[in-house]
Structure 1
Amino acid sequence: MARPPGPLLLLLLPLRFLLHLAGAAGRPCGPAGLPRDTVLGRLGANITLTCQDEEPANGSVLWQVEKQGAAGQLAEGNMLLLRQLRYEDSGHYSCSVGSHLLRSLRLLVAEPPETPQVSCYRRSHDKDVLCEWPQQKKPSPGTRAMLWVRRRFVAENATEQRCRYFSKARKFLCRLKVPPGTDDTKSLVVSTCVSNSAGGSAGKDKIITLSSVLRPDPPVNVTVQALEKAPQRLRVNWSYPPSWDPRFYWLRFQVRYRPEPSPTFMEVRPRLLARPLSLASLSPAPCPLLQVDQVMTTWLDIRDAWRGTRHVVQVRAKDEFGHGTWSEWSQEAVGTPWTDPWELTSEMEPFSSQVPTEDGTYGVTLSPRLFEEDDANGAGGSVMESSTHPVASPYAFLVTGGSLLLGIALFVGIVVRYRQMWWTSGQETTKPEGEGQHMLVPLSLPPPTLSDTPLLSHPAPSAPGVLHTTQADYSSSGQ
């Protein structure tokens, strides 16, 4: 009676089964068998064809070649040397003496194929999976590329697909049919093999899911339009790619843009400027790609465009649920923000005079009508010429003028105030003669000296400005 398998053997059996399934998808990938009398020559190498082991003594050997339906005579001799082989040198070579055929050989010029580096993608949920890999050189004639797909960890036969080479794109392309109802999250194993007469090369197995290889085509019909009376805004519109049906699944989009003088996509942060500067002085340092928030609509307003400057805009798309990868960027579209027809734009040096406005945008330029001058003939017209100097903002003029007027008024007020103070202090220190002064009347007079003058006498006329006091007045004063 046989003993039951031990615990270690029970663990190894599932592992061996999985390894068997993993190797089931592999296919022999070697050079195709060469038929008899076929000689293989490598591209760019030299090769010598021999007619017989010993050179015939009864005549000279003549070589002929037949390739691409045309025949020609080459040279004489038992051996034929061909230098720097090309693909066009492939054909049938024969040697003969007179009319007697001695030997016929087939020369095949080929080069071992490159190892495939496969990548797979799916344009939408209802499309087949496309797998491709690039080629550095043109493959040899007769090169065969195959692809096998099977479900991972499932014992079933792999699906075989033949791949085609596209010379313009210089890549092999394979199409995988996806049965309806296939689970997008199930893993698939993709195997590739490229072979020809010179050898074979197998690519590394790739594990994919239908959701992970989802990669939409880039958006189409991208347009850029200016918005009236908005010198720093652009409206970008685009359409879904034809390969994606928006009735069942949506896409999310990203937009990137740059001013045309800039060679790369950069981020521009508007800032308040004290004076007009040129675009050259405002050129920001390169930074990571500027891409706006993801949107589900097919339009977007750019709010920080550079005034009077052409912008390059591109859009890319991704599945609304975030499955797969982003598409390639769309073709470039260009547009210029709206410009006031009355504004004069400098042709010698672009500028960007930016100040904040009510709607949150930046950049208002003064109308050139403020600089109009009467024409030399007096016809009442105006001459409008492009100025090489930046045009200032009306708000800058208002702020500057208001500040100037306020400064003048403050200076005049200070002068008037100090003048009044100086005048008042002068009055207090130096008053005019006679103003504010009074004659001092003595309270008592010295007693008169006794003389022979009579006490009572007729008053004599007094001189003007002299005050005379009589005895009667003195007595009546109460003293």
Structure 2
Amino acid sequence: MARPPGPLLLLLLLLCLLLYLAAAGRPCGPAGLSRDTVLGHLGANITLTCQDEVPENATVLWQVKQQEAAEGLGQQLVEGNTLLLRRLRYEDSGHYSCSVGSHLLRSLRLLVAEPPETPQVFCYRRSHDKDVLCEWPQQERPSPGTRAMLWVKRRFVAENATEHRCRYFSKARKFVCRVKVPPGTDETKHLVVSTCVSNSAGGSAGKDKIITLSSIPVKPDPPVNVTVEALEKAPQRLQVNWSYPSSWDPRFYWLRFQVRYRPEPAPAFMEVDQVTTTWLDIRDAWRGTRHVVQVPLEDGTYGVTLLPRLFAEDDANGAAGSVMESSTHPVASPYAFLVTGGSLLLGILLFVGIIVRYRQIWWTNGQETTKPEGEGQHMLVPLNLLPPTLSDTPLLSHPAPSAPGMLLMTHTDHSSSGQ
């Protein structure tokens, strides 16, 4: 006979059930529709019927009052027991009524809506000390009345989740939810993020996302106040300036920017990466040509910043204007190629000429220093003259002038050498 489960096992089962219920997302479904509400899909056709039976010789008149219309105002429509609406739009939503004379026969509400898309949530922070933002994109504009909610709770803790209302941004075509981070929150604790988007046509829940504050990527806002100025008497230079976004404090971390620019005729951008200042001096602009300049944040560097040097030291050392350029991708400019190639060829020819000239001088000096003493002087000695013998030379006669470089010897010297 099987033994009943012990108290400890029952306690564990109850704890697992509580954790499952705490981790499970809130129910996400469509808002309830009243009996007099008709749901129509965007772009579809729909037929509204006034009554199953209408008295003979009775003229049925339809009237509609859109949701955005003022109170008491309505628009007269066609006559007949049925009303056909083609290719529904969101603007077709409203209250439709049919009547015979002053007698109201039926009133109903038409709601044009599409089931919401399943959210794919991405969470980030604009700065290390800012609130957490969770967002997801939308392929299509959500139906009017669509509601998006986000819940955050600690993982494996039986507690109520904090609820956050999300806002839709039509230009960016995305929902954004702001999660307030209380001061002193442990950034290593796991949090469960749940989302739900619902409207009258249906509801869709996103997959729960497990995050920690320390692992959330930092996604700074783009730079602001971007200006481009042409420098006087420098037709190939452009001065680009920008400012940090208000959500980022550069006293703690510097951002890395990327400057992209191109002349309007060129299809490709020149890119200067790893820019840590808030300005850049472009020195290879096309003379007399309009340029497109962009200053985005460095791609792939969210969450990775550079520790700044002190601004006072930068100003004192003149390093505030330095720009780190890790890679530059040039535009295919024929003018730039010709100038660069010509300068390089001229430099090579000048270098080769200097080397040849110095080699010739070195060779000549080397030959002169390596000749033996008196080697060049024997060329001036006449070969057909024999030196006089000792007996034919007077003892005290004055030496006759000789050829330059000849070695003269007196009798006294010869005698001295003989001894």
TM-score over 0.5 for the pair: yes
State the SS of the aligned residue for 1:88. helix
Preserved contact between residue 258 and residue 298 of structure 2 (Cα < 8 Å):
no
Show the counterpart of 2:43: 44
Q: How many Å separate the matches in 2 of 1:396 and 1:307?
A: 26
Structure 2 counterpart of 1:22: 23
- The residue aligned with 1:159 is 162
SS in structure 1 at match of 2:74: strand
Distance in 2, matches of 1:118 and 1:22, equals: 17
SS of structure 1 residue aligned to 2:47: strand
- Tell me whether 1:148 sits opposite 2:151 in the alignment: yes
Q: Write the distance in 2 (CA, Å) between the matches of 1:306 and 1:145.
A: 46
**Which residue among 184, 189, 193 is the counterpart of 2:187?**
184
- The answer on 1:81 being equivalent to 2:84 is yes
Total equivalences in the alignment: 336
- Distance 1:255-1:236 versus aligned 2 partners, 3 A rule: farther
Q: Distance in 2 between matches of 1:193 and 1:45?
A: 26
Map 1:112-123 → 2, pairs under 5 A: 112-123=115-126
Q: Percent identity?
A: 64
Aligned residue for 2:214?
Answer: 211
Q: Which amino acid aligns with 1:111?
A: E
Contact 1:92 1:107 in 2 (8 A): yes
Alignment of 1:368-447 (within 5 A): 393=346, 396-397=349-350, 399-403=352-356, 406=359
CA contact (8 A) 2:223 2:296 kept: yes
CA distance in 1, matches of 2:36, 2:228: 66
CA contact (8 A) 1:218 1:317 kept: no
> How far did residue 409 of structure 1 move?
9.7
Give the structure 2 partner of residue 350 of structure 1. 336
Preserved CA contact (<8 Å) 2:133 2:179:
yes
1:34 aligned partner, one-letter code? L
Q: Is the CA contact (8 Å cut-off) linking 1:224 and 1:313 kept in structure 2?
A: no
How many Å apart are 1:125 and its aligned residue? Answer: 3.2
The SS at the match of 2:335 is coil
> Which of residues 115, 127, 132 is equivalent to 1:129?
132
In 2, distance between residues paired with 1:50 and 1:300? 66
Which amino acid is the alignment partner of residue 104 of structure 2? L
CA 1:313–1:402 in 2, change beyond 3 Å: closer, same or farther?
A: farther
Partner of residue 303, structure 2: 325
Gaps of 5+ in 1: 226-233, 268-289, 293-297, 328-334, 338-346, 355-387, 415-423, 425-430, 437-479
CA distance in 2, matches of 1:353, 1:97: 87
Q: Which secondary structure state, in structure 2, belongs to the residue aligned with residue 350 of structure 1?
A: helix
> Which residue type is aligned with residue 56 of structure 1?
P
Q: SS of the residue aligned with 1:163?
A: strand
SS at match of 1:213: coil
Report the CA distance between 1:253 and its aligned residue: 4.2
Aligned to 1:131, what secondary structure does the other structure show?
strand
Alpha-carbon distance between aligned partners in 2 of 1:161 and 1:47, rounded to the nearest angstrom: 36
Shift of 1:99: 2.1
Amino acid at match of 1:5: G
1:250-289, Cα deviation, whole Å (9 max, x unpaired): 325445567857825679xxxxxxxxxxxxxxxxxxxxxx
1:129 deviation in Å? 1.3
Is structure 2 residue 248 aligned with structure 1 residue 244? yes
Separation in structure 1 between the aligned mates of residue 99 and residue 228 of structure 2, nearest angstrom: 74
Aligned residue for 1:361? Answer: none
In the TM superposition, residue 190 of structure 1 has moved relative to its aligned partner by 1.0
Q: How far is 1:128 from its partner?
A: 1.5
Q: Deviations 1:293-325 (Å, cap 9, x if unpaired)?
A: xxxxx54999xx99745797857479xxx9x73
Partner of 1:231: none
Q: TM-score, normalised by structure 2?
A: 0.63
**1:66-98 deviation per Cα after TM superposition (whole angstroms, max 9, x unaligned):** 222342221122111111111111112111222
| Deviates further, 209-218 or 12-21 | 12-21
Please give the per-residue CA displacement for 1:416-436, whole angstroms capped at 9, x wherever unaligned: xxxxxxxx9xxxxxx99xx99
| Contact persistence 1:252–1:317 (CA under 8 A) | no
Q: For 2:104 and 2:227, how far apart are their aligned partners in 1? A: 72
TM superposition shift of 1:4:
5.4
Q: Is the 8 A contact 2:262 2:270 kept in 1?
A: no
Q: Which has the larger radius of gyration?
A: 1
8 Å CA contact 1:316–1:326 kept in 2: the answer is: no
Report Cα offsets for 1:147-180 as digits up to 9, x if no partner: 1111111111011111111222221121111111
Q: Secondary structure at the match of 1:21?
A: helix
Distance change >3 Å, CA 348–CA 133, structure 1 → 2: closer
Contact 1:124 1:243 in 2 (8 A): yes
Whichever residue aligns with residue 253 of structure 2, its letter is: L
